[in-house]
Amino acid sequence: MPASTVRELHELAVAQLSDALDGVEHVDLVDFPDHLNCGDAAIWLGQLAVLDRLGIGIRSAMSRRSFRMEGLSPDGAVVIQGGGNFGGLYPSHHALRLRLLEELRGRSIIQMPQSIEYPGAEQRDELRRAVAAHGAVVLLVRDQRSFDLAAADFDCEVRLVPDAALALGPMTRREPSVATAVQVRTDRESTGAAGLDGFRFDWLDAPLTESRRRLLEWHELVSRAARKSGLGALRAGEIRTARRVAGANLARAVGLLSSGRVLVTDRLHGHILATLLGIEHVVVNDRFGKIRAFWETWSSGIPCAHFADTWGDAAAALSDMATEDAA
């Protein structure tokens, strides 16, 4: 049943993620988002918030680029980053996940909350075989549609859990500078042009400050050195810089989303972070229906959020909101 308050969503996410990690003492985190997708950074920080709360140690935190099997600790759970890439829609994520499943058979793997989308039967069947052969996977999914797919397709424990970014809890927005901000995704999940007036952005191509650019470059250098040497001190440094990079990316998201008094977004984490920030917003469904599935499962009862199937519906919702404000 959808939550009616931000606090309720936050507490539900923390409780269910904590339950999924019950009994775990230390983890290796895989697929750190060393890129400009601020939503993935929010997921990563939400996962860290729960691990820190539970006192679970982090042995390594590798991205796809810095990953090497020898960099994993010899035991403990392997935790794979949550998000929207389970199923093969994004080939590099899919390849890494298959490699982990095939080379770490019998070792505990916890997949943090994901949406499931298959580009074809081949990718679905690869995952089904790999999960069944592995034998120790806990698959967390973040919407009812994905849960139904996972329960039918995978021979493993499947849990319905809210997106990990919700573990961050309520946040404070910044002062708006324009009436309306419009976030339009620029990747394969986009449904096309928005056709709305306002400050327009996507966090994949919004400009970086010089300090954030240097921070990303420093993390890349540390990760490259850790990958080549395998030294524990460098692995610890990689974890520390990963926290800083993710924190800077989250701060960037807060600034962009707060720029408008009202926000329109077609990114799931535009919606999730706007919800945590208390920003009045319209969330537009994506090409694959991921946003609708999440909305119907968790967030349709949140007062500051409004759902639109299309950009045309979003324009109508904005008009209705303006009329209500004027009344």
256 neighbors 41 (Cβ within 8 angstroms):
no
Q: What is the mean pLDDT of residues 47-76?
A: 94
Report d(CA 116, CA 108) in Å as an integer.
Answer: 21
Identify the weakest region by mean pLDDT among 40-49, 210-219, 303-312, 317-326: 317-326
Q: What is the pLDDT of residues 104-157, one digit of tens each?
A: 999 999 999 999 999 999 999 999 999 999 999 999 999 999 999 999 999 999
Q: Is the pLDDT of residue 259 over 60?
A: yes
**Considering the chain, what is the average pLDDT of its residues?**
93
Q: What is the pLDDT of residues 150-202, one digit of tens each?
A: 999 999 999 999 999 999 999 999 999 999 999 999 888 888 767 888 899 99
201 part of a folded domain: no
How many structural domains are present in the chain? 1
Report d(CA 319, CA 293) in Å as an integer.
Answer: 25
Residue-range definition of the domain harbouring residue 118: 6-168
Percent of the chain with pLDDT over 70: 96
pTM (2 decimals)?
0.94
Q: Helix or strand or coil: residue 56?
A: coil
What was the pLDDT predicted at 254? Answer: 97
Q: Helix or strand or coil: residue 172?
A: coil
Q: What is the mean pLDDT of residues 280-308?
A: 96
What was the pLDDT predicted at 267? Answer: 97
User: Residue 326 — pLDDT band, cuts 50, 70, 90?
Assistant: low
248 part of a folded domain: no
Report d(CA 308, CA 284) in Å as an integer.
Answer: 5
Q: Is the pLDDT of residue 224 over 90?
A: no
Q: Helix or strand or coil: residue 205?
A: coil
What was the pLDDT predicted at 215? Answer: 83
Q: Output DSSP code: residue 78.
A: E
What was the pLDDT predicted at 218? Answer: 81
258 part of a folded domain: no
What was the pLDDT predicted at 61? Answer: 93
Sign of CA dihedral 163, 164, 165, 169: positive
Q: What is the pLDDT of residues 199-222, one digit of tens each?
A: 999 998 888 888 888 888 888 887
162 part of a folded domain: yes
Instruction: Give me the CATH number covering residue 40.
Output: 3.40.50
263 part of a folded domain: no
